[in-house]
Amino acid sequence: MPEYVIPAWELPSLPVQGEKKRFPVRRIWCVGRNYAAHIKEMGYDPNREEPFFFAKPADAIVHDGGVVPYPPQTKNLHYELEMVVCLGKGGKDVPVEKALDHVYGYAVGLDMTRRDQQFASRDRGRPWEMGKGFDHSAPCSAVVPAAKIGHPSRGSIKLAVNGQTKQDSDLGAMIWKVPEMISYLSALVELGAGDIIYSGTPDGVGPVVKGDKLHGAIEKVGTLDITIG
C-alpha cells in the first residue's frame, strides 16, 4: 500500500445480499430521461433520442436505512427512484449482446436532485453537477447478485413517501434497456469493475421535506428506506 501525505478515505462500498464481502463502488453513472412518462412530465419530447449520462461522486452513497440530510442551496429537493446496475467487469466498446456479462448485480437507488439548481444550470447552459452530484445524493440498497435473480428487464418499480405511492411503473418501460446503456456508455468511457449505473426514473418525481420517509421497492431486486434529515 502506498503512503499518503494526508489521511486516505475509505473506499465507498455496498453490502451484498447473502454475502459477507462488499461491493466496492468505483464511479456512479446516471442515465437521463429513460422513461417516456417522466420525459413528458419534465416537458420534453419522449421520442427516442440518444441516451445521455451524468455522474455523481462515489462518496455520495447513502446506505439503506440511512438519512439524507436536507442539502444546502435548494428549496426543491426531489426523489427519483431508479434500478442500479452494478458492474463486475469493465470494458470499452462492449457489444449489446455481451453487455449483461459485465453485470455483477442490481440494487435499488435514489437519484436525489436539487431540481432548482438543475434547472438553473440547464437554463444557463451550465453543467448539472451541483443539481445532481452533491453530498449524500446517491442512496443505494444492498446489491443482489445477478447469479441469484438473473437480469430483470421487467417488474414493478415503486416509491412511496410517508406511505403514499408517488412512483409506480415497470422496468419494462425503460427506453434504453440495460444492455444498451452499458454498450452506449462503454463507447464514451472505458467502464471499470465497481462502476454502478443509475438507469433512469419513471414518472411521478416530486419534492420532499425534512422528516419524510422514502420507501423504494423494485420487484426481485429489493427495497430501500431513507429518511430526509
Q: How far is the CB of 169 from Mn ion (least distance, A)?
A: 13
Question: Among residues 78 and 102, whose Cβ is nearest to Mn ion?
Answer: 78
186 vs 201 by CB, closer to Mn ion: 201
Using the structure block, give the residue that is written with the C-alpha cell 486516505.
Answer: 8
Instruction: Give me the least distance between CB of 84 and Mn ion, in Å please.
Output: 11
- Distance in Å, CB of 19 to Mn ion, minimum: 27
Q: Are 53 and 31 in contact (CB under 8 A)?
A: yes
Strands 61-63 and 138-140: parallel
- The three grid cell numbers given for residue 48, joined into one nine-digit string: 427516442
**Residue 200 Cβ, how far from Mn ion at the closest point, in Å?**
6
DSSP result, 130-155: HHHS-TT-EEE--BEEHHHH---SS-
Query: Applying CB under 5 A, which residues contact Mn ion?
Result: 80, 111, 201
Residue 122 phi/psi, 5-degree rounding, is -55, -45
Q: How far apart are CA 34 and CA 8, in angstroms?
A: 36
For CA atoms 98, 102, 104, 108, the dihedral sign is: negative
| CA 5 from centre of chain | 33
Cell 433512469 locates to 200
Choose between 16 and 83: whose C-beta lies nearer to Mn ion: 83
Which residue is at the shortest CB distance from Mn ion? 111
- What sign does the CA torsion over 167, 169, 175, 181 have? positive
Q: Which is nearer to Mn ion, 16 or 62 (by Cβ)?
A: 62
Rounded distance between C-alpha atoms, residue 39 and residue 46, angstroms: 6
Work out how close the CB of 112 gets to Mn ion at its nearest, in angstroms, rounded to a whole number: 9
Looking at the Cβ atoms of 183 and 201, the one nearer to Mn ion is 201
Residue 109 C-beta: closest distance to Mn ion, Å: 9
Nearer to Mn ion, 64 or 80 (CB): 80
Q: Which three cell numbers stand for residue 82?
A: 431508479
